[in-house]
Structure 1
């Protein structure tokens, strides 16, 4: 399910409801050279890094972004954080949470 201004709107709530399980992503839209994805988080994701920046926007729940050699960043609904390229990180949640990711289309979920 993807959309652009030419094809109509996207319901983030419906996209979240359709996610098959933890750490599964769904592309919602492409904007120039970026993609907007939604993902369900549960537990701890493996440590990884990307060769590009990655924006996390907390949709619901609470997300702790653990960053190598830095203090963790806590995100609550409506808060965002950009993980700079090359920084090892992992999202961790105690209860299911959902996140919007804004990144390049070629960004690999488990990192480089």
Structure 2
């Protein structure tokens, strides 16, 4: 057991689309990622939770309106939904997902 500083972990991320694990909780992992630019379209075989830590970004979704997130806001992309995060300026998100979830989807 040890505490983790999200702020320090964010500051140590080397660049866009890099992520680090913060904690394992039951059957999930909490990760932090830097977002900047357009991530490739992808989907997962499980839900994916995005919590905006700082900055602003949007989640573009197939056949749906994009969802814009600001600090403190959460959005869950349902499993199987093709999506991509897009950030015009650097932003950071906490992701809650299964440990085996692949960053670029299935």
If the length of structure 2 is used for normalisation, what is the TM-score?
0.99
Deviations along 1:9-50, one digit per CA (max 9) or x if unpaired, are 110000001111110110000000000000000100000000
Q: RMSD of aligned C-alpha atoms?
A: 0.5
Aligned residues: 106
1:18 aligns with 2:12: yes
Partner of residue 96 from structure 2, selected from 92, 102, 107: 102
Q: Which runs of 5+ in 1 are unaligned?
A: 1-6
Q: Partner residue of 2:43?
A: 49
If the length of structure 1 is used for normalisation, what is the TM-score?
0.93
1:9 aligns with 2:3: yes
Q: Partner residue of 1:77?
A: 71
1:33 aligns with 2:27: yes
Which runs of structure 1 show a deviation greater than 2 angstroms over 4 or more consecutive aligned residues? none
